[in-house]
């Protein structure tokens, strides 16, 4: 059985990733400071350490007491708007925690690292074209800047790595009690679901014209399984963009959400938001080729909208 450390495993994507890896027989240790994660998101079969990754000497205990075969480093602060309001907090937390993970991986000879990066690193540099792994990178918010710096630290680390750049992760798995739990979350489909439950208007920035590529959280979790299986088998240094390759405006998503769930959303149009790129759609050619990957859903966007509202009704 392979022994895997997952940072941020109490968070939204982390808890879904833990769930799938446990089903595939991996032994999982989670470290998370529970700043945005939840104990209820931590599967009972995992070993959990409530640790802040910035506290390297405490984090080191997890490495001393386990021989990990690989690390999946998801822990980060991950909200664009918050990062524009408090850039230092984002740069300090995300960069130093990645640096600490790299140093401990090297010290304890854990040679394989999978890292969660983000499509936000591309900024507005690529116009209305789907972005490839080698497309121009120019983040326009501190969150994106922190991810670019972390990617560079990992590339220079000498470790084997797979950097996964997720596009907009959305949806839930209500049967497994997996979904967004933090009240801080501002993701669009989550906000639409909360608006239905709480009967409030939804503010739509930039006249609803931002285009994004939404990918279901279970598909993202499944990509981690593929990445682990891949990195276990060979030495590799790969960067992979993770999305469906389909762009939707905010208003497209509102319409789809209303149609799929037979609800009506009241929207308020708001200003363009500092730090939000206009168009981010994934060129997923490499994802499909390298992992023989395809979505596990026949209609992913419908599933995202349905599962997100079902999850909010359950909570």
Binding positions for ligand NAD, rule: CB under 6 A:
8, 10-14, 32-37, 52-54, 74-78, 93, 97, 116, 118, 166, 168-169
Q: Which of 12, 26, 79, 143 is catalytic?
A: 143
Angstrom distance (rounded) from CA 234 to CA 33: 32
Q: Are strands 279-280 and 211-212 parallel, antiparallel or unpaired?
A: parallel
Residue sitting closest to ligand NAD (CB) = 11
Report, in Å, the least distance between residue 217 CB and ligand NAD.
8
Report, in Å, the least distance between residue 13 CB and ligand NAD.
4
Q: Which is nearer to ligand NAD, 44 or 199 (CB)?
A: 44
The dihedral formed by the CA atoms of 137, 141, 142 and 145, expressed in degrees to the nearest 10 = 0
Report, in Å, the least distance between residue 112 CB and ligand NAD.
18
Identify whether the C-beta of residue 57 lies closer than 8 Å to the C-beta of residue 114.
Answer: no
Q: Which is nearer to ligand NAD, 4 or 77 (CB)?
A: 77
Angstrom distance (rounded) from CA 187 to CA 170: 7
Q: Are strands 211-212 and 248-249 parallel, antiparallel or unpaired?
A: antiparallel
Q: Which is nearer to ligand NAD, 187 or 199 (CB)?
A: 187
Q: Which is nearer to ligand NAD, 165 or 306 (CB)?
A: 165
Query: Which one-letter DSSP state was computed for residue 132?
Result: P
Report, in Å, the least distance between residue 185 CB and ligand NAD.
8
Angstrom distance (rounded) from CA 301 to CA 215: 8
Q: Which is nearer to ligand NAD, 27 or 34 (CB)?
A: 34
Query: Which one-letter DSSP state was computed for residue 282?
Result: B
| DSSP labels, 159-191 | SEEEEEEE-EEE--BGGGTBS---TT---HHHH
Report, in Å, the least distance between residue 6 CB and ligand NAD.
10
Q: Catalytic site residue 143?
A: yes
Mapping DSSP onto H, E and C, the string for 223-241 reads HHHHHHHHHHHCCCEEEEE
Active centre residues (catalytic): 143
């Amino acid at each position: 059985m392979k022994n895997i450390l997952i940072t941020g495993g109490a968070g939204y994507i982390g808890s879904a990733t833990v769930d799938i890896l446990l089903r595939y027989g991996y032994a999982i240790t989670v470290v998370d400071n529970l700043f945005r994660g939840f104990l209820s998101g931590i599967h009972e079969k995992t070993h959990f350490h409530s640790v802040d990754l910035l506290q390297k000497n405490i984090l080191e205990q997890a490495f001393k007491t386990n021989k990990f075969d690989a690390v999946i480093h998801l822990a980060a602060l991950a909200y664009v708007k918050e990062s524009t309001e408090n850039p230092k907090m984002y740069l300090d937390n995300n960069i130093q925690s990645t640096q600490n993970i790299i140093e401990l991986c090297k010290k304890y000879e854990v040679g394989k690292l999978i890292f969660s990066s983000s499509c936000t690193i591309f900024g507005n540099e690529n116009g209305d074209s789907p972005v490839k792994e080698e497309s121009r990178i120019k983040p326009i918010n501190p969150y994106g800047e922190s991810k670019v710096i972390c990617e560079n630290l990992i590339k220079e680390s000498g470790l084997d790595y797979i950097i996964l750049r997720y596009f907009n992760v959305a949806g839930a798995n209500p049967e497994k009690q997996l979904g967004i739990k933090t009240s801080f979350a501002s993701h669009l489909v989550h906000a639409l679901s909360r608006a239905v439950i709480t009967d409030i208007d939804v503010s739509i920035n930039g006249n609803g014209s931002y285009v994004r590529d939404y990918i279901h959280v279970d598909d993202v979790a499944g990509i981690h399984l593929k990445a682990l299986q891949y990195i276990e088998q060979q030495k590799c240094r790969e960067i992979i963009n993770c999305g469906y390759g389909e762009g939707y405006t905010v208003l497209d998503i509102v319409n789809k959400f209303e149609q799929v769930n037979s609800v009506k959303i009241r929207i308020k149009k708001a200003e363009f938001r500092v730090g939000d790129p206009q168009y981010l759609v994934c060129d997923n050619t490499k994802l499909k080729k390298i992992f023989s990957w395809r979505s596990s859903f026949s209609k992913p966007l419908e599933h995202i909208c349905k599962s997100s509202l079902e999850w909010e009704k359950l909570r």
